[in-house]
Structure 1
């Protein structure tokens, strides 16, 4: 059992070394410049989330208003 776990951890480490990480690997780069790609990607995701939330809220408001109007016609 220990051998399987050890082999698994070794394989995971090997795969993680192959991965492309969203920060600068150059040790000379310091501060926020090192994480520029990560920060830019995070900003894009936040903006997209806000826009999607606004879009869904707008259509929810429209559908609710239309359904309230239709249901009030019957009374």
Structure 2
């Protein structure tokens, strides 16, 4: 069992070394400049999430208004 776990951990380490990490690999780059790609991607995701939430909220409001208007004829 320990051999399987050890082999698994070794394979995970090997795959993680192959990964393209979203920060600068150059040790000369310091501070927030090192994480420029990461911060840019985070900002894009946040903006997209806010826009999607606004779109869904607007459609929810419109559908609710339309359904309330249609069902008001039954009263």
Same fold (TM over 0.5): yes
What are the Cα deviations for residues 9-68 of structure 1, in whole angstroms up to 9, with x where unaligned? 000000000000000000000000000000000000000000000000000000000000
Flag as ranges the 4+ runs of structure 1 deviating above 2 A.
Answer: none
Quote the RMSD (CA, aligned, Å).
0.3
- Residues 37-56 of structure 1 aligned to structure 2 (within 5 Å): 37-56=37-56
Aligned residues: 75
Q: TM-score, normalised by structure 2?
A: 0.99
Distance 1:49 1:42 in 2: 11
Which runs of 5 or more structure 2 residues have no equivalent in the other structure?
A: none
Which runs of 5 or more structure 1 residues have no equivalent in the other structure?
A: none
